[in-house]
Amino acid sequence: MRILILGINHAPEPVGIGPYTAGAVAALAAAGHEVRLVTAKPYYPGWSLSPECSRTLYTREARGRTTVWRCPLYVPRHPSGVRRVAHHLSFALAALPPMLAAAACFRPHLVLTVAPSLLSVPVAKLAARIAGAPLWVHVQDFEVEAAFATGLLEGAGPLARMARAFEAVVLRSAQTVSSISPQMCRRLEQKGVPARRVVEFRNWAEVDTITPLGVPSGYRAEWSLGNRHVALYSGNIANKQGIEILVEAAHRLAHREDIVFVVCGEGPNRARLEARAAGLTNIQFRPLQPAERMGALLGLASVHLLPQLAGTADLVLPSKLANMLASGRPIVATATVGSGLAREVEGCGLVTPPGDPAAMAEAIAALIDDAPGAEAMGVFARARAETRWSRGAILDAFVARVGVVAA
């Protein structure tokens, strides 16, 4: 079959949505489908385009059964609410010509689009209508509500009502709508998507390449960590994470010479976070590490840290969670009781209230001081990654569902 995909993020972006879109594309091509992908030039998580990307408009890459069209877009250095809207709108407008050309010439059997970016869904809908194909919208996070919850956009007033109405209309316009957790799938139904159209298509763990380390990680020597316990955060440093709590927790554990915090990643809030940590000797900031060393990085952790803002419960399920579980290390997550994140972490670590750095610091210390308990949680985390987050099983089910929807 011929599958047309629209998504703002793709490889070689190392974290976030990009690796999962790339994995879905690869799985479809491996199953014998012809895939056309319209995406943006890589900019995430640093929110910047490389000089070579800035010098070109559209580019085309063909490999095997897959052809990738990359579009220009506006990338704000500091993605505030209005600038972020302009960013997504620029991608939707730039994607329109290659999507319409693909609809007319490629004649796809299915059009699939990934949200974010929700603003590009009408472009995918138009392409699907021209091709006479069904539309599948895959929701990685509820970006409208997340923008309200994190303060990027004002949650009241006529503009907020328009944004929510737009979201509801575009979601209901699709023949299939998927998301990455049971709680997020239920939210789709609450937004008016009929239950028969809703599919769970979760992100996966790289259980074959990320495994529990039997020896100390090489990063210990590289970063002069010695024998200290490592409380690790690795990923994007932005609004949705509520990552400021890590610095506050580090303050509260400054007296523990056996604990060091390592924040590894990029994003628009990194400089501000480093400024807040000025004077602390128990926290290090490191750049995002190569994908091929992800196993060594995640295996560095004595405890993984997974902060989340209270208002974003069940609007997103952090993609970094899957590989944290695969590493076989316990997790301290800030999450609302009963949320999707809290349920996923249950038995694999400890959950503390969002915005409570004292509780987070106490949980980190408790796990480090209880080696047998932490080890048992790590073993359970690995088992959960293998059973709930298997890449092969998730992608096999996705490819099978594509065959049904596109038939």
Q: Residue 240 belongs to a domain with what CATH number?
A: 3.40.50.2000
Q: How many domains would you assign to the chain?
A: 2
Convert the pLDDT of each residue in 329-362 to its tens digit: 999 999 998 899 999 999 999 999 999 999 999 9
Residue 167 lies in a domain: yes
Q: Is residue 32 a contact partner of residue 65, using CB atoms and an 8 Å limit?
A: yes
Give the domain range for residue 47: 2-204+390-406
Q: Is residue 207 a contact partner of residue 390, using CB atoms and an 8 Å limit?
A: yes
Same domain, 49 and 166: yes
Q: How far apart are CA 161 and CA 389, in angstroms?
A: 36
Convert the pLDDT of each residue in 90-143 to its tens digit: 999 999 999 999 999 999 999 999 999 999 999 999 999 999 999 999 999 999
What does the pLDDT read at residue 268?
Answer: 84
Residue 92 lies in a domain: yes
Residue 213 lies in a domain: no
Same domain, 298 and 175: no
pTM: 0.93
What does the pLDDT read at residue 149?
Answer: 82
pLDDT band at 239 (very low <50, low <70, confident <90, very high): low
**Averaged pLDDT of the chain:** 94
Residue 214 lies in a domain: no
DSSP 352: E
What lies within 8 Å, CB to CB, of 346 at 6+ separation is: none
Same domain, 322 and 246: yes
DSSP 336: -
What does the pLDDT read at residue 46?
Answer: 87
